[in-house]
Amino acid sequence: MFKKFKAATVQTAPVFLDVEKTIAKAIIFIKEASNNGAQLIAFPEVFIAGYPYWNWIMTPVQGSQWYEKLYKAAVKMEDEVMQPLFQAAKDYNIHIVIGLNERGDSFGEIYNTNIIIDNQGKLIGKHRKLVPTWAEKLTWTSGDGSSLKVYDTEVGPLGTLACGENTNTLARFTLLAQGELVHIANYISLPVAPPDYNMAEAIKIRAAAHSFEGKLFTIVSCSTISEEIKEALREDVPNVDEVLTRKNSAFSGFIGPNGAVIGEPLIDEEGIIYADIDLSKCIQPKQMHDILGHYNRFDIFDLRVNTAPTRKITFINDHDEFNKK
């Protein structure tokens, strides 16, 4: 119950729209984290293998060709190209939470998905982003409640949400109610936010809110925008440097059960950082505010969550039903 472990979080850019090279890059970080004693490593949102920035800086018609490129770079868990990632978790005895573009069953369908791999190299869970944020609706299909789960791991009860859905109070409470003590919140750098919006600060506020309310540890991993990404988009967006360059666009770090940042976070810079996690630190803060226990009124409040997977079609044979009568 009172687990102690070292965690790592990564702030970097993928190899844009190249799954194989991005996984190879991830494995370099995984090896480094393991060699430094980490038992858990977090990677950014849709790290495999890129974010649809064109939704924000091009018209939908211009961005359509990029949507096709992204779909071709989307993956399923059983794809051969994914296997080195699972093997790395086993080889380096480390848990991995990483974002990816997941191919759906419908041709052309993409989900924004976080996967959880245990230290035996097994896929133990995945979470599909419930609601794509703003311009992201041009790319991703919405997930459903079946992936709002907390997973029992050797480092503790672990859950994850992607980017803006860490603002969704009911989604966060659903994870807390399942006993979550380690939360992975992953993001992308978003320089195209409104001028008065400090993305790094907003990420920190969301993480602190979840940790303070739930009395748990939040690990934040955010991507960066590489020169390679900007160069790829330059032909369609000549002023890409202007629109995709801005300070305070990325925050990665660790938040404790008291809502305070642990150590020094990464702001905009690429790298990997570590923190020692002691789950027993989640106990004392609950004496004041336990929103899952004494500091709530479940006789007044009733949250119901539909965890059934979405069914796209139901077949009914009316003739057979008639014959049974």
Q: How far, CA to CA in Å, does 204 sit from each of 174, 213, 218?
A: 21, 14, 10
**Average pLDDT along the chain:** 96
**Which pLDDT value is given to residue 318?**
74
Beta-bridged to residue 5, according to DSSP, are 277
* pLDDT tens for each residue of 12-66: 999 999 999 999 999 999 999 999 999 999 999 999 999 999 999 999 999 999 9
- In the structure encoding, which two tokens stand for residue 103, read together? 């191919």
**Cα 115 from Cα 100, distance rounded (Å):** 8
> Structure pTM?
0.96
What is the span of the domain harbouring residue 236?
4-323
Q: Percentage of the chain with pLDDT > 70?
A: 98
Tens digit of each residue's pLDDT (9 = 90 or more) over 161-196? 999 999 999 999 999 999 999 999 999 999 998 889
Q: How many domains does the chain have?
A: 1
**Could you list the active site residues?**
45, 129, 163
Tokens matching residue 179? 């006993």
Q: Which of the 8 DSSP states describes residue 301?
A: -
Taking only the tens place, the pLDDT of each residue in 103-151 is 999 999 999 999 999 999 999 999 999 999 999 999 999 999 999 999 9
Helix (H/G/I), strand (E/B), else coil: 205: helix
Q: What would the pLDDT profile of 150-170 be if each residue is shown by its tens digit?
A: 999 999 999 999 999 999 999
Query: Could you tell me the CATH number of the domain that includes residue 31?
Result: 3.60.110.10
